[in-house]
Every structure is written in structure tokens, then in C-alpha cells.
Amino acid sequence: MEIQLDQSTTPFDLEHTLRCGQLFQWEKRGDWWYGVVGEMVVKIRQINDRLVFQTFPEEVDADFIKNYFRLDDNLPLILSKIDKDGHVRRAIQRFRGLRISRQEPWECLISYICATYKNIPAIKNMILNLSKRFGEKINFNSHYFYTFPKPSDLAHAGLEEIKECKLGFRAERVLEASKIVDRGEFNLEGLRKTDYEKAKRELLSLPGVGQKVADCVLLFSLDKLEAFPVDIWMKRIILGFYQNYFGASFVERVLGKSSITPGEYETISSFGRRYFGEYAGYAQEYLFPLSRSQGKLVALDSCNR
């Protein structure tokens, strides 16, 4: 199947989107990206304005893909709203077409509980291990793929089994969170129509969910585009680019250590929401890849001095 894009009204860049670090279930083989979305393996590539895709074992319509990649977002409008200064503008020019994806909340929650204190390759590995062990195997194009486990699959697993997926101290948090969701005591999907502040408070009650994980789940799976997750990279970027908006002692103190307190997190995150507005999450998503590019890191370092 195919989706015809109009880059002036519906800009989209599959490559930027799948490489930006939000998603952990995608892999490129040759010209094609393969990923697992829900119960489906998705094979997709972009050729200029055409998005070509195939799903297995079932066929899905274009809306499935449009929903997943948030092609319903008015990206030109969003980008114009977050275009507040030269820093974001450079990011926008460089990564134009990058979109936040609309992940399934449960998978997003567990993924980001696992992401604590790990790099992306290790996170991908944990998710793959969990899926291999507790998910369903799908054979497609002579490769095996694995769906993400359901809440009940993890809730009824043993702690040791989960630990064997290389989760380390995250295993207990994943197991406990799974039990709560599996018992029906936490309605993840319901948070979609709850406002940001309240939804965040509720998420924070789950084991393994602190402010950063909560903001990621809200932004990446529950349509809270104002959420502004602050990890160590975003801390460096914001305090590098926008240090004038913070006290000098705050900047020095927070940049000088590896972790931040809840109060410091809130200071930086609420600055992001206030400064960039209702689509702050998109600003975060465009700024984030700057931290992973060598050339820009040098610029960031010099900016800090």
C-alpha cells in the first residue's frame, strides 16, 4: 500500500522519525524499515513523497500508518509555533519532517521504565529480549519478529524470568507495574482524555515511573504534546542554549552533576512548556537529536563556557 504525501502541507521524513530515538522496535534492512506495531510487522520505506508499506500477518489501511506516525498533526503549524529562536530554527531546518510517533501506551510505559540509566542499544536489546520471551513470534520475509508482551504476560511471569531479559534492577519495577495494569487498577488509555497535570500525577504512582518516564509516556503515547521530558541530554541542551533564562548558580550547579533533583527537573521542564508553548514536546523532539550529533556537541560545549 501507499500513502501520497504533500511535503508542503504534510511534511514527513521517515528516516529522521525512526532514528530520533523515541522508538525501539525498528530496524533497517537494505532500503526497508521493519518494525513491530501492535500485532503487526510493518515493512516501510519512503521514496520522496511516497510512503510505501506492507503489513503482516494482516493488511491494514493507510489510517493505521497515519495514526502511528501522527500524520494527522499539522506539522507546519506546530513548527511555526515552536520556532522561537535560532537554536530551534536550526533544528527544524535540519530535521524537517521529523514527527513524534503515537505509540501504544502500555508498550511505551514498559519501554521507558526499562530506559532508565541505559543507552539506546541496550534498551533495544531489553525490549527485544522481553518480546522474544513473552511475545508472539511472527515469521515474515524469512525473518522472525516478536510482538510486545501483553500486561498479563509480564504480570504472570517470574521475577527471575524477567531479570534474564537483562533488565537488572528494572525487572522488579516492570513486574510490579505489569501487575497493577493487569489487575485493571490503572487505566492507561483513560489518561488520554485527562489533562496533562493530572495524568502525570497518576503515572507517577506507578513503580519505576518518575518525572522523566511519565513525561515520555504522556508525550509519546497519550497525545500530551506539551510534555517536555528532561533527560541528561535535554538538560545540557536547555542549560546550554537558554542559560540566560536561569540563574547562573542554578546552571552551574545543575550542569556540574549527572543527576537532577525533582525540583530541578520541574524548573527545566516547566521552562520548556512555558517557552515553547502547547507543542513543547515537539520542540524537545527536534532539539534532542542535536545532542547526538558530534559537530553540534562541540558547539554546545563552547556554549556552556
Partner DNA sequence: TCTGGACCTAA
Partner DNA sequence: TAGGTCCAG
Binding site for DNA (CB under 7 A): 20-22, 115-123, 125, 163, 166, 168-170, 172-173, 204, 206-214, 216, 229, 231-233, 257-259, 261-265, 288
Which residues does residue 140 pair with via DSSP β-bridges, in sequence order?
143
For the chain, what is the radius of gyration of the CA atoms? 19
Taking the least distance from each CB to DNA, the nearer of 83 and 176 is 176
Encode 105-135: b = buried (16+ Cβ within 10 Å), e = exposed: bbbbbbbbbbbbebeeeebbbbbbbbbebbb
Q: Per the structure block, which three cell numbers stand in for 109? A: 510505559
Query: From the CB of 302, what's the least distance to DNA, in Å?
Result: 18
How many Å apart are CA 288 and CA 286, to the nearest integer? 6
How many Å apart are CA 55 and CA 60, to the nearest integer? 7
**Pairing between strand 137-140 and 2-4?**
unpaired
Residue type, 232: I
Taking the least distance from each CB to DNA, the nearer of 11 and 207 is 207
Taking the least distance from each CB to DNA, the nearer of 144 and 169 is 169
Taking the least distance from each CB to DNA, the nearer of 37 and 213 is 213
Query: From the CB of 216, what's the least distance to DNA, in Å?
Result: 6
Taking the least distance from each CB to DNA, the nearer of 3 and 280 is 280
Contact between 234 and 240 under an 8 Å Cβ cutoff? The reply is: no
Which residues does residue 145 pair with via DSSP β-bridges, in sequence order?
138
Query: From the CB of 39, what's the least distance to DNA, in Å?
Result: 24
Query: From the CB of 55, what's the least distance to DNA, in Å?
Result: 24
Taking the least distance from each CB to DNA, the nearer of 60 and 296 is 296
Contact between 146 and 131 under an 8 Å Cβ cutoff? The reply is: yes
Query: From the CB of 209, what's the least distance to DNA, in Å?
Result: 6
Query: From the CB of 258, what's the least distance to DNA, in Å?
Result: 6
